[in-house]
Structure 1
């Protein structure tokens, strides 16, 4: 979903889903320069029913809701090691491309990524799963790329979530 941010969107959408018997299992929501964005996964009725329930919330172009069926079992087991990468420095073209290329070349999987431009300062924070034994080489390569971009990179292991 995406639309101009306003109070009550999360409540309205989650109420519509609950009214259908759809159980919200995973989601991520944020505001991007005054726009509301929310990606979510739920268990329950089919896409057509969910789309129909969300139609009133999207009336008049207030929200754009795209509904897709997601097959069960989409989560593959990953034997990676979790890391947190942060990048900050003066804004310039190519920061995201350069640091994420380093991760891709190491077969790293980005599981969460946020960027923010605040005045002249650009900040990127990413959670990454790396294949075992690759972290030192990735950290070295990130330091080289950071020097070329004139940004600071912090790369450290993270603890796995305990639920």
Structure 2
């Protein structure tokens, strides 16, 4: 079996997830990790699955993209195996008036501290821009990081919070 990264993007409509999941199930591909969202009327899906070779999956997904409304890509990836998180999980939230460069500036501060962004979402609601990022930080990095984030936020005219992430409850 092969580990594959699959992306599907296009104009949102009911049934995209079901269509893709059914194709993968018919092929015997096991969906392991995924993220799916709707962005201003467009649907975006990224997933990792274990299944047949990439060309076979690509061919099976091709009919879903035949009308030009969806784009599906399939790529073989090298399995990383199970690894422990490299740092301590934190959540950074930023909000304020929309302006260019907010994500770039705030994530640069995180990266300079050795932080690894593991999930990030943004929303524009009217003139309010909101960023929520899950970040793994090196042990002890959060203490000085909060001040550097606050300085960067002040320069952008936005507000920022950094807090430990709550453990997932399954």
Confirm or deny a common fold (TM above 0.5). yes
Please say if 1:95 is aligned against 2:82.
Answer: no
Q: Partners in 1 of 2:82 and 2:110 — Cα distance?
A: 20
Residue 157 in 1 paired to residue 168 in 2?
no
Displacement of 1:78: 2.9
Instruction: State the match for 2:17 in structure 1.
Output: 10
The partner residue of 1:49 within 53, 56, 71 is 56
Q: What is the alpha-carbon root mean square deviation over aligned residues?
A: 1.2
Quote the Cα distance in structure 1 between the aligned partners of 2:113 and 2:26.
44
Higher strand share: 2
Is structure 2 residue 144 aligned with structure 1 residue 134? no
Equivalence map 1:7-156=2 (5 Å): 7-73=14-80, 76-156=83-163
Deviations 1:39-66 (A, max 9, x none): 0000111101110110010012121011
Q: CA-to-partner distance for each residue in 1:134-156, whole Å, 9 max, x for gaps?
A: 10111110011111111110110
Q: How far apart are residue 92 of structure 1 and its match?
A: 0.7
TM-score by length of 1: 0.96
Q: Deviating runs (4+, > 4 A) in structure 1?
A: none
Alpha-carbon separation, structure 2, partners of 1:138 and 1:160: 21
- Relative to the length of structure 2, the TM-score reads 0.92
Distance 1:94 1:75, change over 3 A: farther
Runs of 5+ unmatched residues, structure 2 = 1-7
Q: 1:116 aligns to what SS in structure 2?
A: strand
Deviation at 1:32, TM superposition (A): 1.1
Unaligned runs of 5+ in 1: none
